[in-house]
Amino acid sequence: MGGLPMARIRVAIINVTGYVGADLARILVRHPNVEIRSVTGRSEVGKKVGEVFPHLSQLDLTIESETADVDLVFCALPHKASAEAVIPLLKKGVRVVDTSADFRLKDPQEYQHWYEYAHPAPDALSRAVYGLPELHHEEIRNAQLVANPGCYPTSAILALAPAVKAGIVEGPIIVDAKSGVSGSGRTLNLASHFSEVNENVAAYGLKGHRHLPEISQELNALSKLGPLSLTFLPHLIPMTRGMLSSCYSRLNTGVTPRAENAEAEIRAMYKAFYAKSPFVQVVDYPPQTKYTLGSNMCLVHPAVDQRTGTLIVISCLDNLVKGAAGQAIQNMNIMMGFPEASGIDMLPLYP
Amino acid sequence: MGGLPMARIRVAIINVTGYVGADLARILVRHPNVEIRSVTGRSEVGKKVGEVFPHLSQLDLTIESETADVDLVFCALPHKASAEAVIPLLKKGVRVVDTSADFRLKDPQEYQHWYEYAHPAPDALSRAVYGLPELHHEEIRNAQLVANPGCYPTSAILALAPAVKAGIVEGPIIVDAKSGVSGSGRTLNLASHFSEVNENVAAYGLKGHRHLPEISQELNALSKLGPLSLTFLPHLIPMTRGMLSSCYSRLNTGVTPRAENAEAEIRAMYKAFYAKSPFVQVVDYPPQTKYTLGSNMCLVHPAVDQRTGTLIVISCLDNLVKGAAGQAIQNMNIMMGFPEASGIDMLPLYP
Amino acid sequence: MGGLPMARIRVAIINVTGYVGADLARILVRHPNVEIRSVTGRSEVGKKVGEVFPHLSQLDLTIESETADVDLVFCALPHKASAEAVIPLLKKGVRVVDTSADFRLKDPQEYQHWYEYAHPAPDALSRAVYGLPELHHEEIRNAQLVANPGCYPTSAILALAPAVKAGIVEGPIIVDAKSGVSGSGRTLNLASHFSEVNENVAAYGLKGHRHLPEISQELNALSKLGPLSLTFLPHLIPMTRGMLSSCYSRLNTGVTPRAENAEAEIRAMYKAFYAKSPFVQVVDYPPQTKYTLGSNMCLVHPAVDQRTGTLIVISCLDNLVKGAAGQAIQNMNIMMGFPEASGIDMLPLYP
Amino acid sequence: MGGLPMARIRVAIINVTGYVGADLARILVRHPNVEIRSVTGRSEVGKKVGEVFPHLSQLDLTIESETADVDLVFCALPHKASAEAVIPLLKKGVRVVDTSADFRLKDPQEYQHWYEYAHPAPDALSRAVYGLPELHHEEIRNAQLVANPGCYPTSAILALAPAVKAGIVEGPIIVDAKSGVSGSGRTLNLASHFSEVNENVAAYGLKGHRHLPEISQELNALSKLGPLSLTFLPHLIPMTRGMLSSCYSRLNTGVTPRAENAEAEIRAMYKAFYAKSPFVQVVDYPPQTKYTLGSNMCLVHPAVDQRTGTLIVISCLDNLVKGAAGQAIQNMNIMMGFPEASGIDMLPLYP
């Protein structure tokens, strides 16, 4: 870059009025390589961003119904609405990071099964790249459309990918995930009503949560031992931001690492796996979500329950940053050739 | 009882100054068959109970260092201290409900392994009854010493006992438990410091939690298929009271219930198992801790993940009531021939 | 009552599906003198109460659209809807405790000013009794219609009534109140959305809150010094239940109590004022809402800031119990000649 | 600065192991003009910062017992210990920002009265500058020792300074403040124990809080009407970070602004007062602490209760940023001639 300041690219945020959209705006306002040119909303059109979100009052933009011409669009709409907004952009040749689920699954049948309607642009699915930089860095660099992973899949896949790729677990795999409430979004809902959620913990999605097929798709692609048997159960806990996944699977018999020093070997293998990933830190202590609040870091801690030969991996992250907006910007950085950590190297807010 | 009011028994609470002791006092003050005659503390001796706990200002008792002569003693000391206090009481023939871990394990070697010192009264272990009324009702009736279960074991054993006894799971079993912070007690600790715990979730005890051997002991005793492989991982979440355990195990192949209607059959089997248990309710929805706050009820929800053939059982309870003080009083009711629900039929405080 | 068990009266709860209605049901289920005969809802008609509120699954009643014939009706509708439901009941001669604001203000002009429509039954206003038992015990005993006070007014009036009646404050009076979120009810609202409320505190109602005229009406009626100048500002804090009011007013110059022992004299005067009130406890320490959780107690602590000659009174209560459902049942007890504490002598749930 | 990058100054943090020290480190790590050269602790000496605070693992420094030679020292010790550490630094000519209370009060008698021992260096008091940049910008620029204000005083003084200076309030002034728990620090304490604080609100310091004399000192210095009568009452509410002060005072009679458009005039006056202050925003809506989380901004909202002629000012901030570490860095920026917002222009983390 030879001493010259890099030109800023122009970006738009579709649906800035949800939590993911607002967090995209919050982080992008301070991004050295970006100018937010345009923001849209499904409600609040015509208002200044700062009227809806006082914490963004420095962002002097009016919420519009249509996106301006820009270099890259972040689409933060819910699924279905997102595909409808993204498809015309693709045709115009605009690069897109989509934070919805619409382009995450490769198989349109699988999409139809989980989302209960036919995908509106099945052809686009094969061209979209699953935006987990730790697994798909090269493809993301060249992608026109990046499908930003869900928060649960990010935490679960990062926790399990090294073990699955190494073939040291034979399943069944259990992913027991605990999420803060902001993951449910800003739309009103009795399940996000303060008096219902506070001082409460609840499992949900026992009949199958829509984030499961993403996790399976990505882990199966890494598995040498065939498709995995995966049970995923999310829980809502009384906090705003943060997600912790506790993953369990029996270690393969006869496979290194051996019981004696299994934990050390596995941890070393995890560290090697993520050696070039600036936003995954393999740690030697059980991590807590508080160590990630507001940051783009995912902390991963593999451990071995020697009594039962079980691999336990704890991962945690901020569901709106590494689990959504931060990771979307990480993907943009890779697509645009910016330093991967540009604008997203915030330290966690503690306590 | 022929119209005559039942005489009240006299009880003492050892260590009223902890959360379990205070909750014993709170519930016993309103118990129709009990008079609290004496309370002791390791600190605060000489103060009125209401000076330490304003919510108990109606209890006109002074905290003493020695227990008065009573019909039954609740001992709410931590382990080790509890055994030292209980042994002399046993010699005097007093009936005791001990809420510590000191008399829960049958095997003194196991105790020594987990608590890291030799049990001071190994002979007493065989005479103590594990105070989970849903499994040991008859033995509790005749016991001199009842070892009140831990909060995690209560929730895990009640979730899994019917399945293990029926032989429908072959393990490995995963118990992923989430607890409110009051389970850590009133003793100061960075892990219970508000700013560290709030907006945070953390796994702990990855190297083995002391509640594990209780769970194994009780479930293995029910198992027809030999000792179970059990992984137990507790988590601390930012709420005061409440505990939810999510339990996972592969269903046996070739064993009824068959996949088609497995969930309905298993749920019916669970309901039959707990038909006579007033404080376990098998429910058709995923229960939330909020539905148990302040009550002695444990809610249990068995479900089947049909994709993977996994039994998932969610159980929840108030860790200080059914997980501690309420269950201790339930045990007392059984020991004394009072109605099992006497004094502990509080409805949950919602929201 | 001569040894004979008292017959249970039959009651109905109108709008059991809100938080106040649900808490009425929770407490009345255990009330020794009451049988809940009928519950109605504006939604959920036809469902069992336990389907809507699992914590009330013991209450074997179906939610209906019309109230059955009963001895007393609790009406827990919002204002306006409540008046419409109550007026026909009054004509039938049924006794009513109304938890809405519809019958609290004596002056229909004042009602119209604050609620922005003409009162539908201004004649009823003069016959309704303001249901604060500590001030209107005798009138409540004989009332057909009791207007249960709001939560904020209950805490503010109980904090200030003794001082105002004694004429020791000359105003202006500041009432700075902090409330848990359940006071906003079960209706969805961004201001009750978990992620918006958690880790947040906000003042609201700066242009005038509807609970202000109640406070003024009751305190002015006690004032010897003419109408008071009263500023009331409510705040929402991130907890479910609980309310604490901090009240400030300059002490009159030249009026006893004198500065030297002012605090002791004032506290003694407060204790005398509430000597016969089972649900107000004047305490010698700054009370916390946790000491009232789930109980019907209001704790009041008058103190003197000697530097400035300011009376500070802290009061706290559970906004859904003494601030709503519990106080409604206290009113019923008085109306029916039951012991005032019948069914509402629960101890606080701590911690 | 002519295109050349500004050299980084070297700073030290004394007592990095408390919450203020840790937040200084967190922010300074990203400060473009600063290199953290040295950190000390009263405990944890010899450990890496990241071992104590995983969120600071990027900071490759060992906690030492002695401070290295640096250009500026942040001292984050408690009072008394702080004075002892600062005095030798002053003698060596080092510039210091002290976050304790030791150099905030000008009058050593006042210090002795509130802190209950004689100030160890009364001479230093007159040379220290009270580090509220909105009032003392010029003095801070030239100071060797800046006494960083307390969190409560920052919020109260910023709320009231324009009104007091303009002479529009005649008192008595009531400051009712609500604080998150992190203000109590990292030292263990029953009043910061999760189960005691959660779901609770409590007033404290009724006999006089040590932050009161700071508030009085600064406001009296601005007052044209003589010393003010000020009552300050802090409250602890169940959140980690955030502080909101609600300030009340009767508007002077006969003084502009007149009742009709008083609020608009006062708000304009406030906006003018803070026109050059980048970290105070006068807002037209009642602000919430969530709008300041993690930022260095103080939001101020003056309003008029027309019924009573009372000025109500709501102010809010993050108690660890604008209330402590962020303001300390703002002071350093001014002392060093850096842009005032350098390194502290973080946007709030919402939700």
Check if B199 contacts D (Cβ < 8 Å).
yes
Contact B204 A286 (CB under 8 A): yes
Check if B114 contacts A (Cβ < 8 Å).
no
Contact D198 B181 (CB under 8 A): yes
State the smallest CA–CA distance between residue D180 and chain B in angstroms. Answer: 9
Q: Which residues of D touch B180 (CB under 8 A)?
A: 195
Residue type, A140: I
Exposure of A52 by Cβ count < 10 A (0-12 exposed, 13-18 middle, 19+ buried)? middle
Positions of chain C with pLDDT lower than 70, given as ranges: 1-6, 254-259
Say if residues A289 and A260 touch (Cβ distance below 8 Å).
no
Concatenate the DSSP letters of all residues of B217-230 into one string. Answer: HHHHHH-SSSS--E
Each residue's pLDDT tens digit, C231-264: 999 999 999 999 999 999 999 976 655 567 889 9
| Cα–Cα distance, B63 to B65 (Å, whole number) | 7
Each residue's pLDDT tens digit, B269-317: 999 999 999 999 999 999 999 999 999 999 999 999 999 999 999 999 9
State the smallest CA–CA distance between residue B190 and chain C in angstroms. Answer: 18
Token pair of D270 as six digits: 């406030």
Q: Which of C190, C193, C200, C320 to mutate to test the interface with A (most CBs of A within 10 A)?
A: C193
3-class SS of residue A217:
helix
Token pair of C79 as six digits: 């204002």
Concatenate the DSSP letters of all residues of A76-137 into one string. Answer: -PPTTHHHHHHHHHHHTT-EEEE-SSTTT-S-HHHHHHHHSS--S-HHHHHH-EE--HHHHH
In this predicted structure, the answer to whether residue D40 has a pLDDT above a threshold of 60 is yes
Q: Which of D195, D231, D300 to mutate to test the interface with C (most CBs of C within 10 A)?
A: D231
Token pair 């350093």 in the structure block, residue:
D332
CA angle B126–B129–B133, rounded 5-degree value? 160
pLDDT classification of D7: cutoffs 50, 70, 90: confident
| Cα–Cα distance, B169 to B305 (Å, whole number) | 13
Catalytic annotation, pick one of C151, C247, C298, C316: C151
In this predicted structure, the answer to whether residue D101 has a pLDDT above a threshold of 50 is yes
Token pair of B265 as six digits: 């059959």
Q: Which residues of C touch A240 (CB under 8 A)?
A: 194-195, 198-199
Q: Which residues of B touch A240 (CB under 8 A)?
A: 199
Return the partners of chain A (3 or more C-beta pairs < 8 Å): B, C, D
3-class SS of residue C174:
strand
Each residue's pLDDT tens digit, A276-296: 999 999 999 999 999 999 999
Residue A7: partners with Cβ closer than 8 Å, 6 or more residues away: none
| Cα–Cα distance, B178 to B236 (Å, whole number) | 6
In this predicted structure, the answer to whether residue B153 has a pLDDT above a threshold of 60 is yes
Lowest mean pLDDT segment, chosen from A313-317, B63-67, D194-198, D250-254: D250-254
Nearest to A206 among B230, B241, B312 (CB): B312
| Cα–Cα distance, D326 to D15 (Å, whole number) | 16
The pLDDT of residue A6 is 65
Q: Which residues of D touch C293 (CB under 8 A)?
A: 199
Question: pTM of the prediction?
Answer: 0.97
Tell me how long chain A is.
351
The pLDDT of residue D61 is 95
pLDDT classification of B7: cutoffs 50, 70, 90: confident
Q: Beta strand B63-64 with C72-75: parallel, antiparallel or unpaired? A: unpaired
Whole-Å CA distances, C220 to B12, C163, C167, C173, D62: 50, 12, 11, 12, 65
Check if D203 contacts C (Cβ < 8 Å).
yes
The torsion angle over the Cα atoms of residues D247, D253, D259 and D261, rounded to 10 degrees, is -80
Token pair 């939001």 in the structure block, residue:
D299
Residue C121: partners with Cβ closer than 8 Å, 6 or more residues away: C83, C87
In this predicted structure, the answer to whether residue D3 has a pLDDT above a threshold of 50 is no
Q: Which of A155, A317, A181 lies closest to A240 in space, CA to CA?
A: A181
Cα A48 to the chain's mean position, in Å? Answer: 28
Q: Which residues of A touch B172 (CB under 8 A)?
A: 250, 308, 310
Token pair 């409600």 in the structure block, residue:
A43
Q: Beta strand C63-64 with C34-40: parallel, antiparallel or unpaired? A: parallel
pLDDT classification of B255: cutoffs 50, 70, 90: low
Token pair of D247 as six digits: 């300030």
Say if residues B331 and B97 touch (Cβ distance below 8 Å).
yes
Say if residues B68 and B14 touch (Cβ distance below 8 Å).
no
Residue A151: partners with Cβ closer than 8 Å, 6 or more residues away: A179, A183, A211, A243, A317, A319, A320, A323, A324
| Cα–Cα distance, A290 to A241 (Å, whole number) | 9
Q: Which of C319, C302, C285, C282 lies closest to C164 in space, CA to CA?
A: C302
| Cα–Cα distance, C193 to A257 (Å, whole number) | 47
Say if residues B250 and B173 touch (Cβ distance below 8 Å).
no
C270, containing H or E segment = helix C262-273
Q: Which of A203, A172, A244 lies closest to B231 in space, CA to CA?
A: A172
Residue B11: partners with Cβ closer than 8 Å, 6 or more residues away: B28, B34, B35, B36, B37, B70, B71, B72, B73, B74, B332
Say if residues C320 and C19 touch (Cβ distance below 8 Å).
yes
The mean pLDDT value for D249-271 works out to 84
Burial per residue of A202-214, b for 16 or more beta-carbon CB atoms within 10 angstroms, e otherwise: bbebbeebbbbbb
Nearest CA in chain C to A198: C240
In this predicted structure, the answer to whether residue B342 has a pLDDT above a threshold of 50 is yes
The pLDDT of residue C1 is 37
CA atoms within 13 A on the CB side of D321: 32
| Cα–Cα distance, A31 to B220 (Å, whole number) | 57
Cis peptide leading into residue A54 (ω within 30°): no
Check if D324 contacts C (Cβ < 8 Å).
no
Check if D173 contacts C (Cβ < 8 Å).
no
Could you give the angle at which helices C212-222 and C151-166 cross, rounded to 10 degrees? 20
Positions of chain A with pLDDT lower than 70, given as ranges: 1-6, 254-259
A–C CB contacts, 8 A cutoff, strictly below:
54
pLDDT classification of B6: cutoffs 50, 70, 90: low
3-class SS of residue B79:
coil
Residue type, B115: Y
Higher pLDDT, D5 or C96: C96
The pLDDT of residue C300 is 98
The catalytic residues of D are 151
| Cα–Cα distance, B82 to B98 (Å, whole number) | 7
State the smallest CA–CA distance between residue A206 and chain D in angstroms. Answer: 27
Q: Beta strand D230-236 with A310-317: parallel, antiparallel or unpaired? A: unpaired
| Cα–Cα distance, B291 to C347 (Å, whole number) | 19
What are the DSSP E strand ranges found in chain A? 9-14, 34-40, 63-64, 72-75, 95-98, 129-130, 145-147, 169-179, 202-203, 230-236, 243-251, 280-282, 298-305, 310-317
The pLDDT of residue C329 is 98
Q: Which of B276, B341, B332 lies closest to B148 in space, CA to CA?
A: B332
| Cα–Cα distance, B22 to B28 (Å, whole number) | 10
Nearest to C178 among D178, D204, D288 (CB): D178
Query: Residue C19 — left, alpha, or beta (φ > 0 → left; ψ -120 to 50 → alpha)?
Result: alpha
Contact C286 D206 (CB under 8 A): yes
| Cα–Cα distance, C101 to C209 (Å, whole number) | 12
The pLDDT of residue C170 is 81
Residue B208: partners with Cβ closer than 8 Å, 6 or more residues away: A305, A307, B114
Helix ranges (H only) for chain D are 19-28, 49-52, 81-91, 108-115, 122-127, 133-142, 151-166, 194-197, 212-222, 262-273, 326-336
Q: Which residues of D touch B19 (CB under 8 A)?
A: 195
Handedness of CA C322, B27, B319, B299 (dihedral sign): negative
Exposure of C337 by Cβ count < 10 A (0-12 exposed, 13-18 middle, 19+ buried)? exposed
| Cα–Cα distance, C133 to C279 (Å, whole number) | 9
Q: Cβ–Cβ contacts within 10 Å for residue A117, how many?
A: 9
Nearest to A347 among D29, D345, D347 (CB): D29
Say if residues A307 and B208 touch (Cβ distance below 8 Å).
yes
